[in-house]
Amino acid sequence: MPRFLLRSLFSTIATMFLVSIVLWLLLEVATGDVTIKLLGVFSTPEQRASYRAQLGLDAPSWQRYLDWLIGSDWRAESQVGLPLITTTDPMTGERVWWADVDGVPTQWRLEEGEMLTIRLQPDGTTATSPADVPWARDETGAEVFWGVNEDGSAVKWVRGQGAEVWVLSAAGLRREGNGPQQYIPLRRGLLRGDGGQSLQTGRPVSATLWPRLRNSAILAAVAFTVVMPLALLLGVIAGVNEGRPIDRTISIIGLILTATPEFVTGIFLILIFGIWLKVVPAVAIFTTPNAVFENPSLLVLPVMTLTAVELGYVARMTRASMVEVMDTPYIRAAIIKGMPRRRVIFRHAVRNALLAPITIIMLHVNWLVGGLVVVEVIFGYPGLGQYIYDAAIFGDFNAIEAAAMILVVVAVGTRLIGDFAYTPVSYTHLRAHETVLDLVCRLLLEKKKKLYDTTDVSTANSLNTLS
C-alpha cells in the first residue's frame, strides 16, 4: 500500500508538470500578439513593443515559463540587491511590491531625469523625496540602477538614457520619456498561489479567479450530489430487473440523455422552464457576489443540464456491472442457500457492482467539470467555465494558465481518489466469510456452468440429480 501511494503521487506530480509544459507551449503558439487586443489594431509597432516589454513578453519563452511556475521575485532580487516584499493595498486589497530598504518598503520613479524615492509610511501613506541611489556601471560603461517601480516590476534605469515608453491608462495610451530600459514583472509563481496579472482586467488573476472557482464548485457539487446517487440507483434497478420493461425504459432514456449534447439540453430546458413556464430564471444573472446563496433558483437549470448529460452514462455503466455481478457463482450460491434476495442485492451484489462505476464516477467528475464550460456559457453563469471562455477569446494567457491548471489538479486528484477508493473494494470480503456450505454450493455451480459450456449434457444432468 505505501508503494502504491508513492507511485500514485509521483505519477500525479509528473502528469501535472508535463501538462503545464504542454499547456504553455500551446498558449505560446495559439495566443498570438496579445498587445493588439490590449492596445487596439491601430496601435503602432513601437507602442506594442513597449507594452510587451512592460509585460515581460520580450523575455525568452523558457524564462517566462519559470516565472509563471515558480515566480520571478527570486531573480529580481539578485538584480535589485535588496529583499522584495509585498503589502496589501487597503483600497483594493491587492498585493503591492516594494524593495525592503532598512525595513522600509520603498519604490522608485524617474521624473525629468531625477530619481525619486517613494517610501511607505506606517499610517499607509507614501512620502516622495529625491533619491540618492547607488548607480553602478554595467559592462557597457553606462550607469544603471535596478529598483522597483510603482507598477510592481523590477526595472533597470540607465542614467541619461531614459527609454521612450507607452503607458496604458484609463485615459488611453500616453508617452513617457523617462522609462526603464528593462522590466521584470514581479510575481510569486503559480506554485505559491500567484497566477500573475490578468491582461483583460488589469487585476491579479487570483482576485477574479477564486470567486469564479467558488461558483463553479457549488454548481458542480450540487450536480454531483444529484446525479450520482440517482444514476447508481437507476443502474441497480435496471440491472436487477434485466430484460424487464423497467430495465428497457431506463436503458432507452439513459441512451437518449447520453447522446444529447449539453448545449442542446440546456437550450431545451431554457425554452420549457425559463421562457414558456417561467418557473425558474432562464439565465443566471448575479447581482451580488453571493447571489447563488440568496437565490438558489439560479442553479436549477444548470444543474438539470449537467444531471441530464451525466445521468444516462453512469446509469448504463452501473446497470451493465450489476447484470454481470448478478450472474456470478457466489451470488447464485447465496440465492440457493436461501439468503433473502434484498440482502443478496444490497449487501453483496451492489458492493461488487460498484467496482467499475467507481472508476467511471471519478472520470465523470472531470467530464462534469469540462461540461461546466458549455453550461456556464449557455446560462451566463459566472463560474470557472465562463472565465476560461472569456480568457480564451481575449487571449489572456495568465488567466487561461491558472484556470487550466486548476482543472488539471481536479483531474489528477479525482484519478488518485479513484485509485484509493478502488483498491479496498474487492471480492475477497465474501470469501473471508464463506462457510463450508457456501463453498460447496459455489463449487457445484461453477462446475455445472463449466459442463454446460462444454455441451456435456449428460454429465450436467447427472450433476443436477446429485445436487
Instruction: Assess contact for 328 and 373: CB atoms under 8 A.
Output: no
- Name, in order, each residue with C-beta under 8 angstroms of 135's C-beta and a sequence gap of 6 or more: 143, 144, 145, 159
Give per-residue pLDDT as tens, 90-146: 777 788 999 999 899 999 988 877 888 999 998 888 999 988 888 888 877 888 999
Residues 137 and 168 reside in one and the same domain: yes
**pLDDT: is 446 or 75 the higher one?**
75
Band of pLDDT at residue 441, cut at 50, 70 and 90: low
At residue 163, the pLDDT reads 78
Residues 252 and 378 reside in one and the same domain: yes
Give per-residue pLDDT as tens, 227-273: 888 888 888 888 888 888 998 998 888 888 888 888 888 889 999 99
192 within domain boundaries: no
Lowest-confidence pick of 10-24, 193-207, 255-269, 447-461: 447-461
At residue 430, the pLDDT reads 42
At residue 119, the pLDDT reads 93
Residues 217 and 170 reside in one and the same domain: no
Residues 340 and 311 reside in one and the same domain: yes
160 within domain boundaries: yes
- CA quadruple 67, 72, 76, 77: dihedral, nearest 10: -140
Residue 440 has pLDDT above 80, yes or no: no
Residues 279 and 428 reside in one and the same domain: yes
Band of pLDDT at residue 453, cut at 50, 70 and 90: low
**pLDDT: is 156 or 89 the higher one?**
156
458 within domain boundaries: no
319 within domain boundaries: yes
16 within domain boundaries: no
266 within domain boundaries: yes
End-to-end CA distance of the chain: 42
443 within domain boundaries: no
List the CATH number of the domain containing 309.
1.10.3720.10
Residue 463 has pLDDT above 50, yes or no: no
Residues 215 and 329 reside in one and the same domain: yes
Percentage of the chain exceeding pLDDT 70: 84
The tally of domains found in the chain comes to 2
456 within domain boundaries: no
The grid coordinates of residue 134 equal 547607488
At residue 170, the pLDDT reads 66
b/e code 46-80 from CB counts within 10 Å (16+ = b): ebbebbbbbbbbebeeeebbbbbbbbbbeebbeeb
Residues 212 and 173 reside in one and the same domain: no
Residues 326 and 216 reside in one and the same domain: yes
Band of pLDDT at residue 28, cut at 50, 70 and 90: confident
Give per-residue pLDDT as tens, 295-345: 888 899 998 998 887 788 888 888 888 888 888 887 777 777 777 877 777
Residues 301 and 379 reside in one and the same domain: yes
Residues 211 and 97 reside in one and the same domain: no
**pLDDT: is 88 or 467 the higher one?**
88
Residue 195 has pLDDT above 70, yes or no: yes
**pLDDT: is 249 or 3 the higher one?**
249
Place of cell 440517482: 230
List 169's β-bridge partners, or say none: 172
- Range of the structural domain that residue 267 is part of: 206-434
Residues 423 and 328 reside in one and the same domain: yes
Residues 274 and 385 reside in one and the same domain: yes
**pLDDT: is 292 or 367 the higher one?**
292
Give per-residue pLDDT as tens, 399-418: 888 888 888 887 777 767 76
Neighbours of 263 (CB within 10 A): 14
